[in-house]
Every structure is written in C-alpha cells, then in structure tokens.
Amino acid sequence: MTTTVSAETLAILKTIATSTLTTLLFKRGFRNVFIQGARPLKTGQRLAGPAFTLRYIPAREDLDGIDAFLDPRHPQRVAVEEIPPGAVLVMDCRGDVSVASAGSILATRMQVRGVAGIVTDGGLRDASGIAKLEIPAWCSGPSAPTNLIRHHALDINAPIGCGDVPVYPGDIMVGDDDGVVCIPAHLAEEIARDAVPMERYEDFVLEQVRGGASIIGLYPLTKPENRALFEAWLASTPSHVEQA
C-alpha cells in the first residue's frame, strides 16, 4: 500500500541535513539508506520528494541500437513524460558511470513538467547544462556517452537498487550537498517530527563548541548545567524551520 506524505512533511524534510536523517534512521535500525556515489551537480540545492523509479539492465546489441529511441514506448522517454510533478526520478544504473543515464534535454523537460529532482547512481551527460537548470540533480559523475551503449531501460516505477540502496516507488528522497538519503515512506512523518528538535540541539552544540565548550557532557547531553543552557537557548533562538 502506497503511503502519501504530506506537503508539510516534505517541506520540513527539505530543510533537514542528510546526516541528521541517516542518524534518525539508524536509531530505527536502518543502516543502508544513503545513495552511494550520488553527488550534487551544483552545491546549495535541496531536494525532498517521492521516488519515481527507472531501472536499467545491461544493454544488448540487437535491442539497444541508436534507433531504439524511435520507439515512443522506450521506457526512459515514457518515464520522463509520466513522472508526476513533485516526484524525483531515481535511476538504477548498477553504479555504472561509463555512460549517461540522461542528459540536459530530458532534464529540461522534467523541469518544465515540475519534477522535483533527478537521482542516479550512474552518469549524466551535458552535466554543466543540467547544473544551470533549477531542477537539482545528483549523479556519480559527468559522462558523455549515450545510455544505449551500456544500458537497456526496462522497468518503470518498480522497486530498484540505486547506489546499493533499495528504493521503492513513493519512498522519500532527500538531498543536500552530502548526497541523497532514501526514507521509507511510512517513516517520513515521524522522521520529520524528530528531525527538527535534533537539528535544534546540534545547532546549540555547534554554537557552544565554537565558544570553547568541551563535547563531554554536551554531546550527548548528560550534564544538568548543559541541559539548562540548552533550554534557555531554545527559548531565545528561532529554528530554521520557523524562519523558512
């Protein structure tokens, strides 16, 4: 059963660091949630949206010639035209960065359609052009060759593995400068709920450490005097969620 995640939850998650999210998921027993190899084409962008998946298998010469794109049912093209606004195209390229999984024309089309972002464990071509777009993209690196050389696009919106992480359609993808984390959809609301106070605490800790404080008894918070300082800080300092 698909879990619908509210716009309010997505807005909160978009402000939360992937480091915070991976820690909260680890507390719940999830160790493999960070997409390995996927890095942002442009720093400073944030992402939060449900996964819409595309799976590539290895190409075969009789099926993946240059004329394959003449077929209007080609799964890559279909995925670009059918992904819902606000969703994230997540591509399983088996970690192969030797060819592209998409390029700037497809990225532009998805931006126009209101797609939230692109995540792939493979390459992206025309990477500098994609980096100039508003749609954020994470990949394992720029790669000029067409996907047909190594990839056969197959399944649309089915469970995939991206960067060695299982991604199910509707899972919530959250990205920042560190990379992308996959949150099981049914956990998104409670992760967002717990993430805000956790980040508030870490902001306080960082401020204290910059001022010369020791992390002992502060991180984690075990000393009563530090708890009193934190409570006073909370009362006087607005959160980044409130400021957004």
Answer yes or no: do 58 and 165 share one domain.
Answer: yes
Give pLDDT, residue 219: 94
Q: Flag whether pLDDT at 244 surpasses 60.
A: no
Host domain of residue 145: 31-183
Categorize the per-residue pLDDT at 239 as very low, low, confident or very high, splitting at 50, 70 and 90.
confident
Question: For the chain, what percent of residues have pLDDT higher than 70?
Answer: 97
Q: Strand ranges (DSSP E) for 83-187?
A: 88-92, 117-120, 123-124, 137-139, 141-142, 151-156, 160-162, 165-167, 172-175, 180-183
Q: Give the chain's domain count.
A: 2
Q: Choose the weakest-confidence range: 56-60, 81-85, 131-135, 238-242.
A: 238-242
Question: For the chain, what percent of residues have pLDDT higher than 90?
Answer: 95
Known binding residue 105? Answer is yes
Answer yes or no: do 141 and 225 share one domain.
Answer: no
Give phi and psi for 242, each to the nearest 5: -65, -30
Known binding residue 125? Answer is yes
**Residue range 66-110, pLDDT digits in tens:** 999 999 999 999 999 999 999 999 999 999 999 999 999 999 999
Answer yes or no: do 98 and 214 share one domain.
Answer: no
Tell which residue, 133, 239, 84, has the closest CA to residue 102. Answer: 133
Answer yes or no: do 179 and 196 share one domain.
Answer: no
Tell me how far apart the alpha carbons of residues 5 and 59 are, in angstroms, rounded to a whole number: 35
Answer yes or no: do 171 and 195 share one domain.
Answer: no
Q: What is the CATH number of the domain that holds 73?
A: 3.50.30.40
Q: Taking residues 45-54, report their average pLDDT.
A: 98
Give pLDDT, residue 240: 62
Known binding residue 206? Answer is no
**Residue range 143-157, pLDDT digits in tens:** 999 999 999 999 999
Known binding residue 211? Answer is no
Amino acid making up residue 71: D
Q: What is the pTM of this model?
A: 0.93
Known binding residue 141? Answer is no
Answer yes or no: do 132 and 206 share one domain.
Answer: no
Between helix 188-210 and helix 18-27 the angle, nearest 10°, is 120
Answer yes or no: do 164 and 196 share one domain.
Answer: no
- 9: in domain: no
- 242: in domain: no
ω into 220 cis (within 30 of 0): yes
Answer yes or no: do 94 and 201 share one domain.
Answer: no
In order, the DSSP letters of 15-42 are TS-HHHHHHHHHHTT----B-TT-EESS
- 72: in domain: yes
Answer yes or no: do 77 and 158 share one domain.
Answer: yes
Known binding residue 143? Answer is no
Give pLDDT, residue 209: 97
Helix (H) or strand (E) holding 51: strand 47-58
**Residue range 193-232, pLDDT digits in tens:** 999 999 999 999 999 999 999 999 999 999 999 999 999 9
| Domain end call among 140, 155, 183 | 183
- 96: in domain: yes
